[in-house]
Amino acid sequence: MNPSRRTFLTASASAVALSAVSYQRVLGANEKLNIGLIGAGGRGRSLILEAQKQGQNCVALCDVAPFRMEATTAALAKASGKTSFWGVSTYPRPKFYSDHRTLLEHSGLDAVIIATPDHWHHDVLLDAMAASKDTYVEKPLSKSIDEGRSMIAAVRKTKCVVQVGNQRHSGDHWKRCRDVIQSKDFGDLVWAKVWDCRNWVKKDPFAPPANFKDADKIDWKRFLGKASPRPFDAYRYFAWRWFWDYAGGLMTDIGAHQLDIVQWLGAAEKGPKSVVANGGNYHFKYWETPDVVHGVWDYGKFAATFAVEFVNGYDGVEPRVLEQRAMVAVELRQGAELDDRARPPRDHRGAPGEHRVPDGEEGFLGRGEGRDRGEMKRRTSPPQTGSFASRGRSS
């Protein structure tokens, strides 16, 4: 049985879930949501596929490139299982739009998903609020602090439900982690460490396809929006995350996930007192933004350190939260167990210790090279006095 409108809106989905509040404003509990996708690239495609998986309708797509909308429609049709007769699919094609403002006028539209480049988030969300459409907007919410304030003010003037795609709050294991940290048994939080380390040395997955020849099929002027005018650049189109005109690089693309959870788990009602960050571009020479970033956040009652780099994947992805006597480490995948055992202090020589290491892409407890299936295994770490990482290698 397909999920109802109620179950979709109240689900803590890994990708798309609006809110039970929205359900109270729709016509019937068993009706499906009619959703429009604004930004039909890879991330947008994943989000709308998740929405369809939960039983909702994709009725409209908007993108500056028609071939993106065609690819998303093909993926939706394939995932729907709709049969084809004489080579013609029975899947109801969504309406294509080149301007998101026109999509917002689509008859019967209930909600939208915004998965555009970051520099478009502000204007698209404000237009969605003016059209009274509930919205899921990809992280980061905004490209700048001022834009973020403007977006929050616009949302608060409406009755619309808006969810930002930081996603960590939707996992039950994160809630359990927060309960442990906030419990009397944990003690006083003093340090949160979060990092995301991946090995993209062989290929940046956002790099343009070799011999890309469809520049004339892209509305480049509309892609640029309020950004500085410039000739078409395939790297800027496909890998926009790594250019200052359109995004904030690894700090905002990954930090939006990791630092959001630090503030939530640490019960930091306000932002940090101070932030110090450092970064550099050491491998991906076409990136404008750093490919290695480190930062320190001072919240007054605890400190947080954040590291992200995509040139060496040895350390994987992990948040750790520490107090004076114990440590909590959390896998990022749904359904994972918490590792909240008290750890004896290691001496200055780095005495051997046993770590739980999952062999999975979604997260790590301890250190591990594998990133395939999300399995758990044990490994005894050899004595070490330091760790040195190079491009794609560690020692």
- What is the per-residue pLDDT for 377? 30
For the stretch 29-51, pLDDT in tens is 458 899 999 999 999 999 999 99
- What is the per-residue pLDDT for 208? 94
pLDDT for residue 1 is more than 90:
no
Q: Contact 249/287 with Cβ under 8 angstroms?
A: yes
22-31, 210-219, 239-248: segment of lowest average pLDDT: 22-31
- What is the per-residue pLDDT for 363? 27
For the stretch 164-202, pLDDT in tens is 998 777 778 888 888 888 888 888 888 899 999 999 999
- What is the per-residue pLDDT for 193? 92
For the stretch 99-152, pLDDT in tens is 999 999 999 999 999 999 999 999 999 999 999 999 999 999 999 999 999 999
Structure token pair of residue 202: 């062989």
pLDDT for residue 2 is more than 50:
no
The 3-state secondary structure of the chain, one letter per residue: CCCCHHHHHHCCCCCCCCCHHHHCCCCCCCCCCEEEEECCCHHHHHHHHHHHHCCCEEEEEECCCHHHHHHHHHHHHHHHCCCEECCEECCCCCEEECCHHHHCCCCCCCEEEECCCHHHHHHHHHHHHHCCCEEEECCCCCCCHHHHHHHHHHHHCCCCCEEECCCHHHCHHHHHHHHHHHCCCCCCCCEEEEEEECECCCCCCCCCCCCCCCHHHCCHHHHHCCCCCCCCCHHHHHCHHHCCCCCCHHHHHCHHHHHHHHHHHCCCCCCCCEEEEEEECCCCCCCCCCCEEEEEEECCCCEEEEEEECECCCCCEEEEEECCCCEEEECCCCCCCEECCCCCCCCCCCCCCEEEEEECCCCCCCCCCCCCCCEEEEEECCCCCCCCEECCEEC
| C-alpha R_g of the chain | 22
- What is the per-residue pLDDT for 212? 92
For the stretch 272-330, pLDDT in tens is 999 999 999 999 999 999 999 999 999 998 999 999 999 999 888 877 766 555 566 66
Domains of the chain (ranges, CATH numbers): 5-165 (3.40.50.720), 172-203+247-394 (3.30.360.10)
Q: Residue 66 — pLDDT band, cuts 50, 70, 90? A: very high
Task: Please work out, in degrees rounded to the nearest 5, the angle formed at the alpha carbon of residue 35 by the alpha carbons of 55 and 111.
Answer: 120
Q: Contact 247/121 with Cβ under 8 angstroms?
A: no
For the stretch 328-381, pLDDT in tens is 666 544 444 445 444 444 333 333 333 332 333 222 222 223 333 222 232 333
pLDDT for residue 52 is more than 60:
yes
Across residues 144-163, what is the average pLDDT?
96
Predicted TM-score (pTM) of the model is 0.79
Burial degree of 375 (CB within 10 A; 0-12, 13-18, 19+): exposed
